[in-house]
Every structure is written in structure tokens, then in C-alpha cells.
Structure 1
Amino acid sequence: MTAGDSIANRFSRPEVDAALEPAQAGPAAPAMRERRARIALFGLFGCGNLGNDGSLEAMIEFLRRRRPDAELVCICDNPDEVTRKFGIATRPISWSRHLTGVTRKIDKLFLKIPGKMVDLAQTLRHIRNTDLVIVPGTGILDDFGERPYGMPLDIFRWCLGARMVGAKVALVSIGAGPIRHRLSRWLMTAAARLAHYRSYRDTLSKEFLESVGLDTGRDLIFPDIAFKLHAPANPPPKSAGAERLTVGVGVMSYYGWYGFARGGEAIFAAYIEKLAKFVVHLLDNGHDVRLLTGELTDKTAVDALVEEVGRARPDLPSSRMIAEPSYSLHDLMLQISAVDIVVATRFHNVVCALKLGRPTISLGYSRKNDVLMEEMGLGALCQHVERFDVDNLIDQFANVVRSRDDYRRRIMDRVRQFEDDLDRQDAYLLTLI
């Protein structure tokens, strides 16, 4: 595989290509349908993860543009927040998680079985008139930070409920794996098996599900749907040379794959200590720093990093290191548009940086970052968040500085291919509605 290959061209099917022409004719006339199509969007939305909400936003924009007559409902983690942000009807993923008082005690007494039965009954009740359930992007099929009876069980229950009432299920540009807990792996693989349509955001995800027994022969690969989001006005980098750059440093509150496991605090402290050394190097060499986040909880990491840098450089002017909150991927992209180079941990920090053509170094906690970087021709600019070497990072940064114009051109060429590939997938999705 070469970085210039089109993902969709490498994993195409005749029916996908055939779907392009009818999709261009525009949405079907409402009179052709007996009733409005009802589409449910499923995922961990509204919980403060900007990447997840950006994936939801990209799918809502597409459906409103191409199927404006469809009735949309979002099955999500925080219904009130999703309704506030996107103005659509919502349902909670789980009712048992919100039990309080006596009912919560009774549920615990009976090993939480009553709560799970309530969840199943409510799932069937709320999905019975649905035509299509779409899981729009996100790393929905991994168990990062999840116990089996959390999201792994939830996605299985909703996919099973959809099939029971005759609704179609589409997993669209999702991420999959790793799934380290055996029960979580069974639940998530079973959920994927229930889908009518599956596409993955990278080869890694497809190969993982194939390795755990799923038949992926008819599945496709398309880029992460966040690449479809509209970018803010994107002026060229303001720096005239390498003497003074603004570097975006994406910070994450990272405590290991299972954040609730022992040793998480030590992992977090080591990450912040090493990242602070790199930031101090940038500042000492005349560069400015803008801290980037991808989830509301990342404020903990930002505060810790600012404190660590402050101890090393107590007289640092506040203008040299800027830390502003982001509440959406649009906010994040607006901040990235003001930097020259990005060094980031979170996957959608990397996605947004690449979307804007910024040369990027990844300090990822999962192979998904590495695979995306390899697709962009940036495979040499990756390290793992728990094992990265500061001296190596400094060398990688120096390499990017020397060749950043070349990196920028290469990235933008690839992003345009990603957008074309996603148009192909959109065309096929319209045939499911």
C-alpha cells in the first residue's frame, strides 16, 4: 500500500460505485414514502468527548442535507447535552445507570439483573418504529476505559433490539480494537455481526475483527467521518521561518488503557513529566506553545502540565503558552489554525490537525493513530504515549521544522482523497434509507 492509494478504490464493491449516480440526483420525493424515515444515531455522545460529538455532527449534517425529510433521534450517553448542541430528539443508551435511592439498592441486591431487564424493555420500546440505526464513526468497538457491562453490553443490546424490530443497522467508518476483556470482545463482535453494513476507518480495525472471528469479506474501509466536517477559515501558517513557531501540543488525561486499573496515576505523572520537558525545550528555543484538548476531562492534564512547566520556568510570560478550552471540534480546529505544527495524543486532535494540513507528530495510546499517520505518509512521526522518548521527540520535531512545507502539501493532497472517498460512502448510505 502507498500513501497515495485511495482507500475506497482499494476496498470497493460494484454496488457502492453504482450508488454514486442515483445519489447525485438528490433526495427521493417525500410523496414516494408512506411515512418519514426514522433514523437513530447511536454512540457515546454528549459526554464531553469532542471527537465523538464531531462524528455525530458530521453524520447529522449529511442526513439533514441529503434526507431532510427523515426523522432523527440520537441514542446517547447524555441526552440533554446532545439535544442542546444539535437540536434533535434523544434517548438514553441505558436507563439502569441512572437508578437512584431504593431502586439502585434493589438492583445491586439482585446483581443488577433487574436494571438490565429494564434496559432491554426500554430499548425495544424506543426502537420499534425505527428504520435504520447508524453508528457514526468513533472507536465504538474497543473497550478503552470500559467494563463489559458498560458500553460493550449496551451496543450489543441496541443492535439486537434493532434486528428484533426489523430495523437495519449500519456501522459507518468505525474504529475497532483492541478489545482486551474476553466478555467485551464477545459482546462487541456479536453486535458487529448483527449489522447490515459495516465500514471501518482503517485496515487495522477490519483486520482486528477478522482476527476474532467476524466475516469481513464484504466490509469496506473509508476514512474517519470527521474529515467531512467543515474546516474554519484556514490561513497559511503565520510564521515566516523556523526561528519562531507556534506549536500545538495536544494534552490528554491519560491513565492507561483501563483508567480505573492500578498504576494509572503513575502513568499519568510520567506522561506529564516528559511532555513538560518537551514543552520547555520548545520555549527555550524561542517557540510559542498552544495547548490543545479533545475532551473536557483533559483540563486535569492541562493544569498539571502548566504547573510542571511553571516550576521549570517560573518567569515565563503567560503569552508564551496559551491554554484555552475547546467545546467542539470546530473550536479545536480554530485553535489549530493558529499553529504551525501539532504534537498530539488524542486521535481526533491528530485528525483535526491533518484536516487543516498541519504537520503532525503523534504520541498515541493506540495503533489507530499510527495507522492514520501511515496513511498520510507520516509513519516515522509516531511514538506511544507510555513509552515516548523526549530526545527522539525533539529530533522528530526538528525534522518536521526542516520539511514542513513538503509535509503540508503531502497532507493536503491526502485529505482531498479522504473527502472524495467519504463522498462515495455517503452515496451508498443513501441507498439504505
Structure 2
Amino acid sequence: MTAVRVGVFGLLGSGNLGNDGSLEAVLGYLRAEHPRAVVDALCGGPEAVTARFGIPATRLHWYRGEYRTASRAGAVAGKGLGKLVDVFRTAAWVRRHDVVIVPGMGVLEATLPLRPWGFPYSLFLLCAAGRLLGTPVALVGVGAAAIRDRPTRALVRWSARLAAYRSYRDAQSRDAMREMGVDTARDEVHPDLAFSLPTPSSSPSGPPGLVCVGVMAFHGGNDDRARAEEIHRRYLDGTIRFVRALVEEGRPVRLLTGDDVDATVVAAILDAVDSPLVTAAETTSLAGLMTEMSAAGTAVAIRYHNLICALKAGTPVLAVTYAAKSDALMAQMGLAEYCHPARELDADRLLEQFRELEKRSAELRRTLAERNETAARRLAHQFTALTAALFPTTDPTSRKAP
């Protein structure tokens, strides 16, 4: 039989460790269950994807300045022309495949600043091309949230409607799509794809009292643009106060990130606290993040996949939450009471919650071990369902011609 041609799509290889972790999970599934599949990517950082994962990759956008602010007439014209060219580029790429998978990520949400003509437009082109050309597009384990901005909402709703397969990483995502007018009766909910990645040893191996603190260049979401700097300053000041309080007690602190843009926050904390007890990790994968988390006795984190890495490593974590997905994740893993709002971060209250978390550390580690076993079983079901939906036994002569 002809080897099935699988395309993977998304903001992959662009510096976000969570996105790349979702890709790693799907590639692991394909290599285990469909080893003859020929895989390539249409993504934000093709060079990085090829270097790390060993698959051919194509740039998502024709216009190379897509992610830079367009202020001059030439740049505006280039972006506009790029949107038109991408219609044909995306369709040509989709046509070369039997199946296209969008692996995880929050592709159906706008919980962070997002413009409709950015990724929502690209996702719509993908799903529309898949429907027109007969190539199934699968949104696998994705995140979704209600969207107020009408253009973004419309693009996201139509992308979901045009996809051949949808599954979500939490029930709130499915509910959000239902509220936006998508028929979700046949859609399933499974744990985040990152829970299928290998787990390091969960025994703390770092210095006594080590606390991992995951940080983020947080400025609120789409609806917070008017007070983005105020939100960022409150989050950063509160985080600095929290780290300083730990250091004053002689506790070592390890700063973790989840995206390249977070480096500015790390630098600000290191400068403000100015202590050898505070160090920063340079991780390039979720595996690296999990290794860091597993070395700590406890953790505090804001990025969604930082939370997943701590939970999967079995490390009790306090979540600084900016979206419903984090609250849902913590509830799913038995730590619902250990959430703190990122937009109203209060260092004193955060420290109080952290003390409570540490007191229950042994009990919470047992809870996490049980919940991780459950997540693994549910993800096995996810991959079985995906195979049934996308890789049925077919006559090789029925495949599309290249």
C-alpha cells in the first residue's frame, strides 16, 4: 500500500515549548502506530522543526515580515499581498497530503493578544482547503475559549466547522465551541497531548527547599489591550515580591519559561532580586521543563504547559491562572484550590497559598500519581479514536494523485 502522507500544521518551531511539545506527542504517536507515514509540516519556524524533529517543513506565511508590526506602506502592502498568496500556498500544500493534523495548542481561543488576520486566518485557510480538496483536517486535543471579537470569532467558528475531526483538551473547550455555534455532539475530550510524553523521575533531586517558578511575559488577553501594561506591571511586581520572600528564607529558586518572549521577565526578576539563590534554566523542550520540575519539591507557574510539566512530573504546583484552561487543568488533576489570578496577583496571598501547598505536598504527590495514570489511559483512547477516524484501511489506488 502507498504510504499515507501526513501534514502537521501550526505555530510550531517558533519558540513556544508547549506547541512543540504537542507536535512531539503526535509525532511519537505516528511513529509508533503508523511508522510508514510520510510526515512534513507547514509551520511558523520550519528550520527549527526540521532541525529538532527531522521532518521537512515549509514556512507558514509567504511574507517573511508577518510577525513584525507593519507601519510603512511597503510593509502593509507586503502583508496584504501575503494574505492572498497564502490562499494558494496553503491549498497547494494541503493537496499534497492524505491527512492534515493540527496537534494540540490553543488554536480555537484568544486568551492571549491575537489579531483575526494572523493565525485565525491561516487556520481558516487550512480547514477550507481541506474541505474543498477532500483532505481531512483533524484538530487534535486543541484548546478553545469563547471569543468576543467578531471577525476572530467567525474565523475560528468556521475553521472548527470545516474540520473533519475535532477533540479537545478539556470540557470547557468543547463547551465554548458549542456556544459559538459548532455541533460538538461527536467531539471528544481528552487530556492535553503533552501528558503522553515520557516522564522523568518524580523524586526531588535538587538542593533542599528548591522551588521552580515558571514565568511569562504576561500582558493580559485580547480584551485587556487598554490596560496591558498595568496588568504586566502588577504581575511582574507581585512575582518579584514572591521570589524575594523565598530568597529571604534561604530558599533556592529556579526560574523557568515556556516561550522565547519570557526572557525579559527572567532578566527583570534576576536584576530586582539580585541573589545567587535565584537561577534561570535554559530549557528547549517540555522534557527539559519536566526534568527541572521533577528536581523541585514544589513549583509555581503561569504558562499552561509549565503547569502540565509540573503535574506530569508529580510536583505539587500552584497555578497563577490567566484563562479558564488552567483552572480546568488544575481541577482535573486534583489541585483546584491552588489557583491564583494572574491579573490580580497578590504576593502575600500567593505566599500564603504556597505555604498551604507545601504542607500537603506528600498527599498531593499521591493524588498526582493517580491522576497521571488516568490521563495516560484516556490519551491511549484518544490515539485509538484518531486512527479509526483518519487512517482507515483503504485501497491504495483510491488515494489522491500528487
Give TM-score, length-normalised by structure 1. Answer: 0.85
Picking from 187, 190, 193, the partner of 1:222 is 190
Shift of 1:167: 0.6
CA distance in 2: counterparts of 1:329 and 1:302, whole angstroms: 18
Picking from 191, 216, 233, the partner of 1:269 is 233
CA distance in 1: counterparts of 2:74 and 2:237, whole angstroms: 45
SS in 2 for 1:176: coil
Q: Percent identity?
A: 39
SS in 2 for 1:69: coil
Superposed CA deviations along residues 342-382 of structure 1, whole A, max 9, x for unmatched, are 10000000000000111010002111100000111111100
Picking from 364, 367, 372, the partner of 2:329 is 372
Shift of 1:416: 0.8
CA distance in 2: counterparts of 1:178 and 1:291, whole angstroms: 31
Residues 113 and 303 (structure 1 numbering): CA distance in 2 closer, same or farther, change over 3 Å?
Answer: closer
One-letter identity of the residue aligned with 1:208: A
1:78-157 matched pairs, under 5 angstroms: 78-98=45-65, 108-109=76-77, 113-143=80-110, 144-157=112-125
Range that drifts further, 46-55 or 115-124:
115-124
1:352-363 matched pairs, under 5 angstroms: 352-363=309-320
Is 2:14 the counterpart of 1:47?
Answer: yes
CA distance in 2: counterparts of 1:149 and 1:93, whole angstroms: 13
Instruction: Tell me if the contact between 1:273 and 1:308 (Cα under 8 Å) persists in the aligned partners.
Output: no
CA distance in 1: counterparts of 2:30 and 2:214, whole angstroms: 31
Superposed CA deviations along residues 235-282 of structure 1, whole A, max 9, x for unmatched, are 512489xxx511111111112214993433332222111111111221
Instruction: Tell me if the contact between 2:87 and 2:125 (Cα under 8 Å) persists in the aligned partners.
Output: yes
SS in 2 for 1:170: strand
One-letter identity of the residue aligned with 2:154: W
Picking from 155, 177, 194, the partner of 1:187 is 155
Q: Which residue of 2 aligns with 1:290?
A: 254
Q: Which residue of 1 aligns with 2:365?
A: 408
Picking from 305, 308, 311, the partner of 1:351 is 308
Shift of 1:129: 2.4
Q: Which residue of 1 aligns with 2:342?
A: 385
Q: Which residue of 2 aligns with 1:303?
A: 267
CA distance in 2: counterparts of 1:404 and 1:108, whole angstroms: 53
Instruction: Tell me if the contact between 2:146 and 2:177 (Cα under 8 Å) persists in the aligned partners.
Output: no
Q: Can you give the 5+ residue segments of structure 1 that lack an aligned partner in the other structure? A: 1-32, 311-315
SS in 2 for 1:48: coil
CA distance in 2: counterparts of 1:337 and 1:289, whole angstroms: 14
Residues 130 and 239 (structure 1 numbering): CA distance in 2 closer, same or farther, change over 3 Å?
Answer: closer
CA distance in 2: counterparts of 1:239 and 1:255, whole angstroms: 31
Instruction: Tell me if the contact between 1:107 and 1:114 (Cα under 8 Å) persists in the aligned partners.
Output: no
Instruction: Tell me if the contact between 2:214 and 2:257 (Cα under 8 Å) persists in the aligned partners.
Output: yes
CA distance in 2: counterparts of 1:98 and 1:65, whole angstroms: 37
Shift of 1:112: 5.2
Instruction: Tell me if the contact between 1:296 and 1:327 (Cα under 8 Å) persists in the aligned partners.
Output: no
Shift of 1:98: 4.4
Q: Which residue of 1 aligns with 2:136?
A: 168
Picking from 203, 215, 224, the partner of 2:171 is 203
One-letter identity of the residue aligned with 1:408: R
SS in 2 for 1:145: coil
Number of residue pairs the alignment of both structures matches = 385
SS in 1 for 2:216: coil
Q: Which residue of 1 aligns with 2:285?
A: 328
Residues 363 and 260 (structure 1 numbering): CA distance in 2 closer, same or farther, change over 3 Å?
Answer: closer
Instruction: Tell me if the contact between 2:294 and 2:314 (Cα under 8 Å) persists in the aligned partners.
Output: no
Residues 338 and 146 (structure 1 numbering): CA distance in 2 closer, same or farther, change over 3 Å?
Answer: same
Give TM-score, length-normalised by structure 2. Answer: 0.91
Q: Which residue of 2 aligns with 1:279?
A: 243
